[in-house]
Structures are given as C-alpha cells and as structure tokens.
Structure 1
Amino acid sequence: MTNSVRSICERCGACCASYRVDFHPSELAKIAGGAGVPVAMAIPLTPKLMRMKGTDDVAPRCIALQGEIGRQVGCCIYEHRPSPCHEFNPWAALGMVDAACDRARLRHGLRPLSELQKSELQAISKPA
C-alpha cells in the first residue's frame, strides 16, 4: 500500500467497521510461524474458514481496529492482517475509486471518495 493510500485509510477505517473478514486458517499466527492473525482475534466458522472477531456483529467493527472512524485509525495487526484486508483498496482498477470503499464510508457518515474534489483527495492523502 502506498503512503498516500495508507494515509487516506488511516483517516477513515470505515471498511474495518462495515464488512465481514473471512480467511483461511493457514493465515493464523500459530500456523504461519507467528507472522499471521493472532488466534484470539479470530473465530472458526468451518475447518477451512476463519472470521475476524467483531466483523459479523450487527454493527461490525474488527477487533484489530483502533481509533475513531473518520478521524484517526489503525490496525493493531497491520503487518499480519488477513488476506482480505491486504487486498482491500480504496482504488479499483485504472485508479478509480472502489465502490465498496464508497459504501463503507457512506455507512459511517463520511463522504465517498468518488465525490471528493482532487484538492480534497490530495489533502487527505498527506500522512497524518
């Protein structure tokens, strides 16, 4: 993730409090040689599927999310987050805003990135 994308995400966090995060058990720290999701932060769904705690609640919020959505957030396991989190990006192919990012932002009362002017995007792209 580039610094500008990371800074946008660090001022948002809406995706971490909007979607379920399911992943394969091989991404758990105990199986991945310590470089994975801590077992205490996940719940088993099936023998081949884990879910981050908090992401299946009525008002989802990943257990690893810290801070205030829309202001300043961070992931306490950022370097070891599961693959769906690695793959989620506010920018889809061709540099366009990803619709899932816009939906998550709307759920939390934040303006969708697709509606922001270039100058506004540049302002929130600067490191916090």
Structure 2
Amino acid sequence: MPDNNPCLTCGACCAHFRVSFYWGECQSAGGLVPDELVEQISPHHAAMRGTTQKPARCVGLLGEVGCGVRCTVYEQRSSACREFEASWELGEHNPRCDAARAAHGLPPLTPPQQPDLSPERAA
C-alpha cells in the first residue's frame, strides 16, 4: 500500500460495515483469515469479529479512525477487504467509501487533481 494511500489515515470502512465472506477463506478451511478473528454468521459465511454489531469495528483495525490506522491482518484479510476500494483509488467514485467516511464525520475523498494541459496553459 503506498504511503499516500488515504486508507492509512481513515479506517472508516473497517468501523462501519459488516465484513462478511465465504467461510472457505478461513484458515481452518485452507484460507488465509485467522479463525480466532471471525464468527460464523450462516452455514457458509463468516464475518470479522466486531463487525456484526453497531457500532461496528473490525478486531483487526488498530488505531483511531480518521487519524492513523492499520490492519493487523492485512496480508491475511478477506476478499471483502481486498475488493473494497477507496473512492478514486482506481479513478472511480465509491459511494460506500463516502458513506463510511460520513458516518465518522470525515469528508468524502475527492478525485486527484490533474495538471491542466490545455494548449492555452502550455504557451
């Protein structure tokens, strides 16, 4: 993760949404996610502990939302976490990112500023 990634100071998604995924991602089923950090929510799905209640907060989240955070199981995180992208990370808006940030009093992320390369500015 690049040092300028907004997720390093945010963590709102980890403290807002239920993080659920197919149980086969758990270590006991041959996956990566540590069993002691999950709870079963259906016969075929698990969720990260701490995310099934409100207010939610994943047990893997370390730090203060909006100030400086890190995932203590980053290399072992579930597909739900791997697939969640910050708004504009890949050039696209993610309204779920905005919703999580708003729930913690954080402003939405904005698209990166592109240099003005119009012919009038180049002269």
TM band (smaller chain): 0.7 to 0.9
Greater Cα radius of gyration, structure 1 or 2 = 2
Stretches of 4+ moved more than 6 A in 1?
none
Q: How many residues align?
A: 114
Equivalences for residues 1-128 of structure 1 within 5 A: 3=2, 7-32=5-30, 36-91=32-87, 95-114=91-110, 118=113
Equivalent-residue separation in structure 1 for 2:91 and 2:105 (angstroms): 23
> How far does residue 90 in structure 1 lie from its aligned partner after superposition?
1.1
Equivalent-residue separation in structure 2 for 1:28 and 1:94 (angstroms): 28
Task: List alignment gaps of at least 5 residues for structure 2.
Answer: 115-123
> How far does residue 43 in structure 1 lie from its aligned partner after superposition?
0.6
TM-score, with structure 1 as normaliser: 0.79
Residue 93 and residue 10 in structure 1: after superposition, are their counterparts in 2 closer, same or farther (change >3 A)?
closer
> How far does residue 4 in structure 1 lie from its aligned partner after superposition?
5.9
TM-score, with structure 2 as normaliser: 0.82
> How far does residue 66 in structure 1 lie from its aligned partner after superposition?
0.5
Task: List alignment gaps of at least 5 residues for structure 1.
Answer: 120-128
What's the C-alpha RMSD, in Å, of the aligned pairs? 2.3
> How far does residue 10 in structure 1 lie from its aligned partner after superposition?
0.7
Equivalent-residue separation in structure 2 for 1:41 and 1:48 (angstroms): 16
State whether residues 62 and 69 of structure 2, in contact with CA within 8 Å, keep that contact through their aligned partners in structure 1: yes
> Percent of aligned positions with the same letter in both sequences?
38
State whether residues 87 and 109 of structure 2, in contact with CA within 8 Å, keep that contact through their aligned partners in structure 1: no
Report the structure, 1 or 2, having the larger helix content: 1
